[in-house]
Each structure stands twice: as C-alpha cells, then as structure tokens.
Amino acid sequence: MATGTVIGRALAPKRFAYTHPKHLQELYELAGGCNLYGRAVRNARDLAELARKHGLPELLIVGNLLESSQELANFCSENGLDRVYGEFGWFPHYTTVHADPVGYAWDSSLCRTKFRSLTPKQRATVTAFRKEHWSTPQNPLPEGIRKPFVFWPLQLIGDRVNKHDLNLADWFEVLLWTRQVIPAEFQLVIKRHPVQQTICREHLYTCLPNTLLLDRSAPLQALIENASGVIGCNSTVLLESRLLFRKPSWAYGRSWYTGHPDLIFPLSLSERPFKLELLWHGIIDQWSLDYGDWFLWQLLARQYSAERARNDPARFLRWINRRSYNSYLRLGDNAFEETDSE
C-alpha cells in the first residue's frame, strides 16, 4: 500500500491524480504534490489507461458526484491507491475546501457518524466559530416581510446535487406543497439564488398565499436569523441555518445531513412535515442544541481554509493525509480529532 513519507514531523507530498472539480487538487499541487498525469482523470477506465502508460499515483483526489465514483473507488482498492474526496467547504463556501475519506454529500463519512455527546473541547471550538460568524453586522429585513415567516433559499435548478438527487425540472411543485404544509399564519419567503437569472414559472410563485419572492441580493443572514424555520431542497444554507443559527430546518433532498433525521428534518411531497411545532418554539432542548454543535464541529473538522493551506502547505498536507481513505480505515472517527494541532 502506498503511503506518504514522513520527513521529521512533516509529510512528503505524494504523486497524485485527480478528477474534476479540482479545488482540492490545486492546493495539493501547491503544497508540492506531483500531478502525475497533468490532467483530470475522467473515469476508472481512463485511470487504468493512464496508469498503464505513466504508472500508478499514490493518491487519487476525487471531486463531487461523479458517475464513475464507485468504479474509481474499486480501482483504488484493487491497486492499493489511497483516495480522498473533496470540493469547496461550507463556512464560508468559496474560501475553504473540504476533504472526506469516503465520499461526497450523502456518501460522505458524515452520514455514517452517530451523535452521542458533545465534548467540552468541541463545544469551545464551535462556540468560537459561531461567534465569529454572528459578529457580522445585520442588514434590515427586505420590505414586504411579515413575521412569523419561513425562509426558502432557492438553489440553482441545474445544480449537480439536485440533478443527482431529486432531478426536479422546476421548483414550483415543491413550493406548492411547501405552501400547503406550512401553517397559514407563516409567510413563505423565497429568495432567488445569487446567480440565478430567471426562474421557470416565476409568476406562479407570487400567486401562492402569504408568499413573498425576494431578489437575489436580499440579505441572507438577516433572513435566516429572523426566520422561524428554513425549508429547502439540499442547499448549504440549510446547514448554515441549523448549525450556525440553530433554526429548525427541513430538507426535501439528501446531503451531508443524510442519516441525521433529528438534525435536519426530512421532507417529502406526500407527507406532512415532522416536528412542525418547532416553528413556534424554536430549538430549545439541550440535546438538539448539542447535536447541532456536534455536527458543526464535524463539518469544521473536514474543512480547511484555502488561504491557510497556501500559507502553510506542510500543515495542510498533514491535515489532508489524516482524512484520506486509508487513514480513516486505520483511525476511524479519530481521523478528524487533531483539528487544533493542524
């Protein structure tokens, strides 16, 4: 089995190959990793062909939701390659990367973890992180919003996660159902996605009772903070609302929270929402609060600041090495424990 070479406390970067998207790959290469093939691997057959011509890499960096993800994993196992899955991080999305040993979103290690308790160290980490995020000055709520309201952050309809999960052609069907299952007294506030230009059947959205469609520039944090709850398909905003703002959150689709139905409540187009009473009470019980903090810690343990990776490549290499598949086989959930030293 190929492993990185430890030089003193530092870890020598490996010969690697990667698939699209390449966020994690760029940082790994910057840290000295040898980009063996110079281009992205397309699928398992392509990897086999490249390996035959140029030799095997030591590490495969796999991007999100590839059709051939399982075949690539099989190839790695059969040929003794280590692997790690990665993309952008979560908080904040575009200036961090994440690494996971077993997969992306609903295939990730997060979906296999079980909440038991929150340690004092984990509590301290997430408290500091949440404080940093809450320190942002709040914008006023846009005109037309009437509390109480439920917030729906629209995603891109062509989003890869949507395509691989619900594969909806437009949002109207889920919005129509959502309007029915939310109590009449709660306004449904829909916000366009920041890069969405047009929305299919947009004129119908505003026909729904007690429903408001906001422009894409509407202030996200103010909306989450003032909402009684957040509903969506599988947007990262759901994680933000539940984990950073402790808002009850419901999701139609799968994502990182799959396997944690008491954290972000699953919704379907045929059933009434579970725990709807939280719209009035909020999340107040200690177990649910600790569960959210524990999950936030789990996310933070899997994400890394891109800037920090550029400034301290050796530390980034150690961090990513612990989050590889082989490391996870050896260490289990302890693979994510050394966040402070990294």
Partner 1 sequence: MRRFDIRFDDGIGPIRRVIERAVHSVSERDFNMIAGIFPPFMPEQSRKIQLTVHVEYALQRRPETVGVATHEGGSANVFHCVAPNDNSEIAASVQELCASVAALMVQFLGSSTLSWSSKSCLGQGLCLSVSRDLYPQAVNVFGHAEQSWLDVRPLFDYVNKPTANSRNPSANGCVMLFLSFLRQMGFGWHQIVLAGLPFDSTPRGIYRILTGDSADPFPPFRETILDELRRSTRYG
φ/ψ of residue 330, rounded to 5: -80, -45
Of 164, 214, 218, 161, whose CA–CA distance to 187 is shortest? Answer: 214
Exposure string of 188-227, with b = 16+ CB inside 10 Å and e = fewer, is bbbbbbeeeeebeeeeebeebeebbbbeeebbbbbbbbbb
Half-sphere exposure of 38 (CA within 13 A, CB side): 1
Asked if residue 207 binds partner 1 (CB under 8 A), the reply is yes
Cα angle at 161 between 157 and 165, to 5 degrees? 95
**Which residue lies nearer to partner 1 by CB, 163 or 272?**
272
Q: Output the smallest distance, CB 177 to partner 1, in A.
A: 9
Inter-residue contact 279 to 269 (CB < 8 Å)? no
Asked if residue 174 binds partner 1 (CB under 8 A), the reply is no
Distance of CA 267 to the CA centre of its chain: 18
Asked if residue 6 binds partner 1 (CB under 8 A), the reply is no
Q: How far is CA 126 from CA 120, 294, 297, 316, in A?
A: 10, 8, 6, 21
Q: Output the smallest distance, CB 146 to partner 1, in A.
A: 12
Sequence-ordered list of residues with C-beta below 8 angstroms from that of 27, at least 6 positions apart, any chain: 97, 306, 309, 310, 316
Single-letter code of the amino acid located at 259: G
Asked if residue 179 binds partner 1 (CB under 8 A), the reply is yes
Asked if residue 272 binds partner 1 (CB under 8 A), the reply is yes
**Which residue lies nearer to partner 1 by CB, 233 or 244?**
233
**Which residue lies nearer to partner 1 by CB, 173 or 262?**
173
Asked if residue 209 binds partner 1 (CB under 8 A), the reply is yes
Asked if residue 271 binds partner 1 (CB under 8 A), the reply is no
Asked if residue 49 binds partner 1 (CB under 8 A), the reply is no
Asked if residue 338 binds partner 1 (CB under 8 A), the reply is no
Answer for which of 12, 34, 156, 208 binds partner 1 (CB under 8 A) is 208
Asked if residue 227 binds partner 1 (CB under 8 A), the reply is no
The Cα–Cα gap between 192 and 182 comes to: 20
Applying the rule CB under 8 A, the residues between 275 and 334 that interact with partner 1 are none
Q: Which stretch binds partner 1 (CB under 8 A): 38-46, 56-64, 175-183, 215-223?
A: 175-183
**Which residue lies nearer to partner 1 by CB, 188 or 244?**
188
Answer for which of 184, 277, 284, 340 binds partner 1 (CB under 8 A) is 184
Binding site for partner 1 (CB under 8 A): 172-173, 176, 179-184, 204, 207-210, 272
